[in-house]
Amino acid sequence: MMEDFAQRLIAWQRRHGRHALPWQQDRDPYRIWVSEVMLQQTRVETVIPYYRRFLERFPDVASLARATLDAVLTLWSGLGYYARARHLHAAARLIVNEHSGRFPRDFAAIAALPGVGRSTAAAIAVFAYGERQAILDGNVRRVLCRVFGVEGWPGEPVVTTRLWRLAESLLPLQDLPVYTQGLMDLGALICTRARPHCDLCPMTECIARVTGRQKELPTPRPRRDLPERHKAVLLLWHAGEILLERRPPTGVWGGLWGLPECEVEAGPVEAAQALGCQVERVEGLPRLTHDFTHFRLVMQPWLVLVNRPSRLAEADGRRWLSLDAALDTALPAPVRRLLSVLVPGEIQP
């Protein structure tokens, strides 16, 4: 084992790491928490503008707890993995109700917050409170697997357990925030998934580098074909407005606004009529695909011009909005893509 791993990493981070990220400017646990949740499975450059807008709207736990879920999801729209936003909102209310509005200091209490978990809680505890905790996000797993030659897919429980033990054994006694940031920076900037910059890495004895196995470590996830789910969606258009429908609070795109759906085998006219709409014209649009972790969604969009909507189409959970207003709503990314190419003046009955 590389005995001076931590000291090399700390020295490298101080000289070459990132020091100007917006959440690095203070040790406010709320801001660190928001950033760490946003950074789950999302790149830093994507997160930064969302983070800034989010804090402008919700500068503290109390303001986030007071907000409606719809307001939170609207700001999150486009960032993906929307369960993170629902968990963030639920956790803010829990902090207000059970911790008197103060972000918890206890590591176990942080890890128990909705959507946090062990590694995210450790990052918050390190950066906000200077605690001695190990992190193990995707970048860190890749660094440890390559440097120490850890075999096996990191998602396997036995490999995960080994990596946690390794991560804990490497913790230095001092400079925990610098060390932790260094792990994140090394994985993001140098030990990248493709084309790692080994010539710039301070870990010259890295097993993957010495043996030429950078492409093999970490061991890739076993390949499997994504099952496909097919849905038809209705872009119901009337008098310059589109009909949106709130999705169930849990599951895929939970709590977001989307388009009415129907089975692919069902006709768009019949589906629109089932919502009480009189149809003027129907036009098929190009199919869209969207990959989730466990399946691929194939969407067949139908543009349906409606000449007379009914109260059924305006029931609870549905609303007619102008295109601009719809695009300002909390929408799943594929729905946003569909609406963004519509030009109201070109839609004629």
Catalytic residue IDs:
36
HSE, side-chain direction, 13 A CA sphere, residue 135: 29
CA–CA gap between residue 336 and residue 34 (Å, rounded): 24
CA–CA gap between residue 220 and residue 130 (Å, rounded): 33
Give the relative orientation of helices 44-57 and 69-76 as an angle to the nearest 10 degrees: 150
Element containing residue 308 per DSSP (H, E): strand 296-308
First to last CA, the chain: 71
Number of alpha helices (DSSP H) and beta strands (DSSP E) in the chain? 15, 8
Residue type for 147, please? V
Residue type for 104, please? P
Q: 247 pairs with which residues across the strands?
A: none
Among 227, 207, 225, CA closest to 217: 207
CA–CA gap between residue 215 and residue 296 (Å, rounded): 26
Tokens of 291: 């990959």
CA–CA gap between residue 167 and residue 165 (Å, rounded): 5
Buried b (16+ CB within 10 A) or exposed e, 185-220: bbbbbbbeeeebebeebbbeebbbbeeeebeebbee
Residue 233 DSSP SS3: strand
